Structure 1
Amino acid sequence: MQTNSSSKPIEVKISTVVAVVISISDADPVKMEEALRKMTAGSPDYFDDELAVIDVAAVSGQQPDWNAMLALFRRYGLHVVAVRNASDDEETVLRELGLSIDVVSKSRTEPVAEATTEPAPAPVEPAPVPEPQVIYRNQPAMVIDQPVRAGQRIYARGGDLIIMAAVNNGAEVIADGSIHIYAPLRGRALAGATGDTQARIFARTMEPELVSIAGIYRTFENGFPDLPGNTPVQVRLNGDSIELSAVSSAS
């Protein structure tokens, strides 16, 4: 049997991987499990082995029990791959556990210049402000004609996602731009996946498990807002919170 001499045993390609960010303000395992239980409402496949990044920036005065924390998230279907805002002392432990360190989010402190007695330099005339540059994104939208079933995940990279059929419970649709669903949305929808805060989610019927725009998400364990019946609904960011409104009444 002949082998292809031009084939490579390993190839590395650039790919976009979507991961949820778990922001923790209290590292008490009991409180975290209680919060997860309320969030998932007892659904065993709520997260369905999602990749996750833990952000511990808000944790103060506590030393997380990383083994217990990772085991807890695994039980709820979250596969933790990295930690954000960890202290330098914790990085060695985290690497031994096989986790990556999110160095992109770590702030860098610039050195403070020593004071001198030299005279201040003469003021410099400000440079002229350039005219603003308008950049138009011309990425084709991804169009899906079939229903999105439970367990399916669809990602429209670099543009909008248009779905002509229902997004069922347990399904997940993701787009770097906006998401347009001309049918019921009952699964999860994540728009602006790469940080576009102007992205929106539109659906003819809005009954989602979770919606997210630019990483800010909202679940609906306590029910949905009162909106006019038989009216398409849009989801958008209002400051740092998710807002749902009828399309016909949107300003």
Structure 2
Amino acid sequence: MPGRLARFLLTALFVLFLAFLYGPTFTITILSFQGPDGGLTFPMNGISLHWFGRLFATQAVGDIGAALQRSLALAAMVTVSTVVVSLAAGMAFRRRFPGGTALFYLTLASLIVPSILVSLGVGLLFNLMEWDTAWYSSGFGAQLTWTLPFGLLIMFAVFNRFDRAWEEAARDMGATPWQSFLHVVLPIIAPSVVGIALFGFTLSFDEFARTLLTAGSGNTLPLEILGMTTTVTNPVLYALGTASTALSFLVIGGAILGVRVLRKRGGG
């Protein structure tokens, strides 16, 4: 009996935690399906897709369509760069080289420094160099300080338990280093590469603090949402939150599907 009571209490505590964590998201999702006369709070005034249709219409404040395009383009740039650099660094760190330890800790240091300070530092650097800040330059660099450490940690963990005997077998059969990498190493670590890409996209798409002082005049979607929160008084903002959440789940689902396909091909 005491064991059952303890499990019940722990389960109830976990359910309350989930409700606290995802309750606001569910609330916003529900309120985004209100009718044309809907407001920002309950009770709901009708049920429709009206506010989703208004997403890309001309708003009194903000340009959601342009901001979304910038965020998607920036996330794609960050994703590709994070995957390529993490993969290259993972291959390089398989052997010790002078300065490798210091470089490793320097890379991880960006996770410790507060995000707003990174944004401020990158913005000041561009200002001192008399370069114009923009989402595709300074914003891109600031976001890489956030996504690259995660990609590197994943790749280091993968190669830490990678069996080099597979590469040696390929070399014994006459494969060149590039052929060994493309046909042996890359297929084995492909699920981890997909995971790094997923990290890069999701961390970039909703990044706010590191983009705040580095995006220039072109707002990304999180910055556009911040500007809208003080002026928008209808559920179009909720519809935007629901749509962006759905996009994130779509990307995650696609990544999971990609990993399963790669595992099936590897098993075959």
TM-score bracket for this pair, using the shorter chain length: under 0.3
More strand by share: 1
Tell me the TM-score normalised to structure 2 length.
Answer: 0.21
Tell me the TM-score normalised to structure 1 length.
Answer: 0.22
More helix by share: 2
